[in-house]
Structure 1
Amino acid sequence: MTNHVFQHGNVGGIRIHVLPTKTFKTFAISLYAGVPLAEDTVTPTALIPFVLRRGTASYPETTQFRERLEELYGAGFGFDVYKRGDYQIIQFRMDTINDSFVQSKESLLAESFAFLGEVLTRPLLEGGSFRPSYVNTERETVRKKLESIVNDKIRYAAERCIEEMCREEPYRLHPLGQRADLESITPDSLHQSYRAWLDGAILDLYVVGDTSPEEVQKLVERHFGLDSRSASPYQSNFSPKKVTEVRTVEERMDVGQGKLNMGLRTSITYGDDAYAHALMYNGILGGYPHSKLFVNVREKESLAYYASSRYDGHKGIATIQSGIEIQNYNKALDIIRKQLDEMKQGNISDLELNQTKAMIRNLLSEIQDSAFEMIAFDFNRVLSGKERSTEELMSQVEASGAEDVKRAAGTVELDTIYFLTGQKEES
């Protein structure tokens, strides 16, 4: 496993991260734009990339925009909107074939930068604001995406559990915003939001492929032209919240299957030296098919259709998701709490340890096979301020014993129990 190392620099307020390599036949380009999650900006910010992908100054029609990507030998272009800790992040991605594999007059890397730079900084404007038809259509797109969460009860319960647990924190907000705020967004107000976002976002640009930091720097200067920016780094001002009492929230909807979700807090985050132990904790508790939740709640007791856990290392939060028969609520809750106790007592077998290490090892070694995975892994460093290679993380995982996992378990506190249940029986 070759240890690929990103080289870092800064151009006009954009941090650049370049991994020169001949391993891949394409250039992977990723631009992250992060702003703090906030009630009044989350919805317009989420809408911005949807409108930006509709047209630019040179390619005002969406068909022209798409044809331009075809001209770049079918370059891929896409974006994601998500949250990491208390930040809302928009990630633009481009995937372009390496020049040496095609007969092209222009450098495809340069053409891709010209395209991405224009998407970001020269959107199509009409009378000084966004084209109304684009804003209206994309508002509808975002509304449908938010509605689809309500219709997918597994996702809905997961979101609601976080919302209840973090009701006084920005993290409660969904990265796509709030349906109620969409109506009031106009082409003009969205353009103002876009200007503020472009000025204030923390920008990190990644390139993996057969290039050099010097080449990327020149391309950024030429095609992005964002000189007046002062990029402040991500603030990971994490302070673990003390849990004073466990809250139980019950919500009724027309569901046949109950969704029992739990929110847990831990003081261990990505920047922490014990991060590997928290990964092991989550893996043994509910991260994989051999985990305690899966085996005990689902297989042995047949109490759940699914039972698993997730850990967000940027926020110090773990969540448990399970789908159960509504009448089995108390029984399922008891067995899940028993698994949390087993972890705290350090009742962890060698088999559980070894299987979890094997799963994490596979995930970490797969990162090296994908340019975008390598980018995502390095971006964790940017977000947390913690330098840690995949090799280092793997050796910390390998060195973890039952005592380490027990110590990590000692930092985990149950905060919120959320139960999505059926409508009341008519008497």
Structure 2
Amino acid sequence: MTEPGFRRTTVGNVRLHVLPTDRFKTFAVALYMGSPLSEEDVTPNAVAPFVLRRGTQSYPTTQLFREKQADLYGAGFGFDIYKRGDYQLVQFQLDIVDDHYVSEKESLLRQGLQFLGEAVTKPALEDGHFVAKYVEDEKETVRKKLESIINDKARYAAERCMAEMFRNEPYRLHPLGTLDAIPAITPESLYAHYRNTLKSAPIDLYIVGNTTVEEAKALVEEAFDFPDGTASPAYHSSFAPAQVDQVRTVVEKLDVNQGKLNMGLRSGISYGDDRYTAALMYNGILGAYPHSKLFLNVREKESLAYYAASRYDGHKGIVTIQSGIEVGNYEKAVRIIRQQLDDMKAGKYSETELNQTRAMILNHLQEIGDSAFEMIAFDFNTVLSGKERTVDQIAEDIRTCTPEAIQEVAQTVELDTIYFLSNREGE
């Protein structure tokens, strides 16, 4: 079956994206639900999917819910909660065997969509709201997950750096919410909140596998009971050029053996920007790979860091740097990292750096087509950004990206925040 790309239609207030293909032995289904990051909504948005996994109206206990998954030939069902740009996203995933590989009278795609449809739109209820026990249990789950962040010091430092850098913006919020907001959540308030989210949130449903857009639409209409609402709104994120008046330094002290030095940089170049591929090259040369400047100069040559890397977030237009260092090496590490940033601005890239970075990015792009869920995630970037791009277009742009284009990106990148997690010695 050919793959001309995702076919798109709508079902009520849901955008449906279908990729008909016979390349995979399973159907991959993903549902994205987005909400603008806000202090008021971020915590209930995070708790709700944990409650949804406990049961549906047809399978009201957790045991029955899991037994149904087993009946569907071990269908993989799960969810994730994260942020992209200024949105908090809940993503539900279902992976179910293609009908051609099993002897089943009723379509497994139909059964799988009915299962997902129930999980999302027909949850287990009591007295017209979420089951109280499930809500209390899952509030505790989210609380423990938030509290556990501090135990992973590298993750904790990365989160704290973002919280400090965006202290006056919604992006400071963790996608799992805040500890302070958990106690106030009730079964009634959470169910009302969730029903409102189903009505008003942008919702995108993806199906990849041996089906047609017509069949998929009919099955979705049958399986999902979305409340009446307006068509899914578009995602909106605004990106202004980076303006940093003064670099802010934050030092925090905990009982740690290894210091964590993180930096947050603003660029304003987002996924929708024509310079996006040059930004990918910039990040690749700076710190994304083992041949990158940060790895070679901070870790290998100077032996200053246990790890040193950078990440580019095209949905927020930022670059972050993460490193683990001996506490006494802080000043030297900062100086050498800043030197790499200056070298990027000056256009100091070797042919080896350029060629190896190109090869790494092109290899990753080539691998997208090997995974249905990677193809879904890639396409969803176009929904989030409003910018249509194919893998082939990005690959061609990477091949033709010039050192001058990378330097132009480097000129936009400005260091905003330095966060250092140090130890308590000498206090």
How high is the TM-score relative to the length of structure 2?
A: 0.98
Contact 2:268–2:316 (Cα < 8 Å) also in 1 = no
- In the alignment, the residues of structure 1 paired with residue 18 and residue 199 of structure 2 have an alpha-carbon distance, to the nearest angstrom, of 23
- In the alignment, the residues of structure 2 paired with residue 233 and residue 218 of structure 1 have an alpha-carbon distance, to the nearest angstrom, of 24
DSSP 3-state at the match of 1:271: coil
Contact 1:240–1:316 (Cα < 8 Å) also in 2 = no
Residues 90-123 of structure 1: CA distance to partner in whole angstroms, max 9, x if unpaired? 0000001011111111111111111111111111
Contact 1:163–1:173 (Cα < 8 Å) also in 2 = yes
Contact 1:259–1:323 (Cα < 8 Å) also in 2 = yes
Does 2:187 align with 1:187? yes
The alpha carbon displacement at 1:376 in A equals 0.1
Does 2:81 align with 1:73? no
Greater CA drift, 370-379 or 188-197: 188-197
Does 2:104 align with 1:90? no
Aligned equivalent of 2:129: 129
The alpha carbon displacement at 1:241 in A equals 4.4
DSSP 3-state at the match of 2:83: strand
Matches within 5 A, 1:229-308: 229-230=229-230, 231-308=232-309
DSSP 3-state at the match of 2:70: helix
Residues 317-373 of structure 1: CA distance to partner in whole angstroms, max 9, x if unpaired? 110001111111100000000000000000000000000011101111110000000
Aligned equivalent of 2:392: 391
- In the alignment, the residues of structure 1 paired with residue 141 and residue 202 of structure 2 have an alpha-carbon distance, to the nearest angstrom, of 26
Matches within 5 A, 1:128-207: 128-207=128-207
Shift of the 3–246 alpha-carbon distance from structure 1 to 2, 3 Å rule, reads farther
- In the alignment, the residues of structure 2 paired with residue 385 and residue 187 of structure 1 have an alpha-carbon distance, to the nearest angstrom, of 36
Counterpart residue type for residue 64 of structure 2: Q
Contact 2:27–2:98 (Cα < 8 Å) also in 1 = yes
- In the alignment, the residues of structure 2 paired with residue 382 and residue 389 of structure 1 have an alpha-carbon distance, to the nearest angstrom, of 13
- In the alignment, the residues of structure 2 paired with residue 304 and residue 124 of structure 1 have an alpha-carbon distance, to the nearest angstrom, of 50
DSSP 3-state at the match of 1:149: helix
Residues 242-264 of structure 1: CA distance to partner in whole angstroms, max 9, x if unpaired? 11111011111111111110000
Counterpart residue type for residue 23 of structure 1: R
Contact 2:161–2:264 (Cα < 8 Å) also in 1 = yes
Greater CA drift, 251-260 or 332-341: 251-260
Aligned equivalent of 1:59: 59
The alpha carbon displacement at 1:191 in A equals 1.2
- In the alignment, the residues of structure 2 paired with residue 344 and residue 363 of structure 1 have an alpha-carbon distance, to the nearest angstrom, of 26
Aligned equivalent of 1:421: 422
The alpha carbon displacement at 1:226 in A equals 2.4
The alpha carbon displacement at 1:240 in A equals 3.5
Contact 1:249–1:417 (Cα < 8 Å) also in 2 = yes
- In the alignment, the residues of structure 2 paired with residue 225 and residue 66 of structure 1 have an alpha-carbon distance, to the nearest angstrom, of 21
The alpha carbon displacement at 1:237 in A equals 2.6
- In the alignment, the residues of structure 1 paired with residue 311 and residue 238 of structure 2 have an alpha-carbon distance, to the nearest angstrom, of 22
Contact 2:25–2:101 (Cα < 8 Å) also in 1 = yes
DSSP 3-state at the match of 2:243: coil
- In the alignment, the residues of structure 2 paired with residue 295 and residue 58 of structure 1 have an alpha-carbon distance, to the nearest angstrom, of 56
Contact 1:353–1:401 (Cα < 8 Å) also in 2 = no
- In the alignment, the residues of structure 2 paired with residue 219 and residue 203 of structure 1 have an alpha-carbon distance, to the nearest angstrom, of 17
Contact 2:287–2:293 (Cα < 8 Å) also in 1 = yes
DSSP 3-state at the match of 2:92: strand
Aligned equivalent of 2:45: 45
Counterpart residue type for residue 278 of structure 2: H
CA RMSD in angstroms, aligned pairs only: 1.1
- In the alignment, the residues of structure 2 paired with residue 227 and residue 136 of structure 1 have an alpha-carbon distance, to the nearest angstrom, of 26
Aligned equivalent of 1:359: 360
Aligned equivalent of 2:349: 348
Residues 266-290 of structure 1: CA distance to partner in whole angstroms, max 9, x if unpaired? 0211001110000000000000010
- In the alignment, the residues of structure 2 paired with residue 106 and residue 73 of structure 1 have an alpha-carbon distance, to the nearest angstrom, of 13
Contact 2:288–2:309 (Cα < 8 Å) also in 1 = yes
Greater CA drift, 249-258 or 328-337: 249-258
The alpha carbon displacement at 1:165 in A equals 0.5
- In the alignment, the residues of structure 2 paired with residue 356 and residue 4 of structure 1 have an alpha-carbon distance, to the nearest angstrom, of 29
Does 2:329 align with 1:328? yes
- In the alignment, the residues of structure 1 paired with residue 203 and residue 264 of structure 2 have an alpha-carbon distance, to the nearest angstrom, of 31
Greater CA drift, 4-13 or 316-325: 4-13
How high is the TM-score relative to the length of structure 1?
A: 0.98
- In the alignment, the residues of structure 2 paired with residue 194 and residue 333 of structure 1 have an alpha-carbon distance, to the nearest angstrom, of 45
- In the alignment, the residues of structure 1 paired with residue 375 and residue 180 of structure 2 have an alpha-carbon distance, to the nearest angstrom, of 37
Greater CA drift, 19-28 or 252-261: 252-261
Residues 288-312 of structure 1: CA distance to partner in whole angstroms, max 9, x if unpaired? 0100000000000000010000010
Shift of the 4–141 alpha-carbon distance from structure 1 to 2, 3 Å rule, reads farther
The alpha carbon displacement at 1:201 in A equals 1.3
Contact 1:270–1:386 (Cα < 8 Å) also in 2 = yes
DSSP 3-state at the match of 1:302: coil
- In the alignment, the residues of structure 1 paired with residue 60 and residue 221 of structure 2 have an alpha-carbon distance, to the nearest angstrom, of 24
- In the alignment, the residues of structure 1 paired with residue 301 and residue 240 of structure 2 have an alpha-carbon distance, to the nearest angstrom, of 38
Residues 191-221 of structure 1: CA distance to partner in whole angstroms, max 9, x if unpaired? 1221121112110000000001111111121
DSSP 3-state at the match of 1:283: helix
- In the alignment, the residues of structure 2 paired with residue 334 and residue 236 of structure 1 have an alpha-carbon distance, to the nearest angstrom, of 33
Q: What is the percent sequence identity of the aligned residues?
A: 61
- In the alignment, the residues of structure 1 paired with residue 226 and residue 260 of structure 2 have an alpha-carbon distance, to the nearest angstrom, of 47
- In the alignment, the residues of structure 2 paired with residue 422 and residue 392 of structure 1 have an alpha-carbon distance, to the nearest angstrom, of 47
In the comparison of the two structures, how many residue pairs are matched? 425
The alpha carbon displacement at 1:175 in A equals 0.4
The alpha carbon displacement at 1:238 in A equals 2.5
The alpha carbon displacement at 1:4 in A equals 4.9
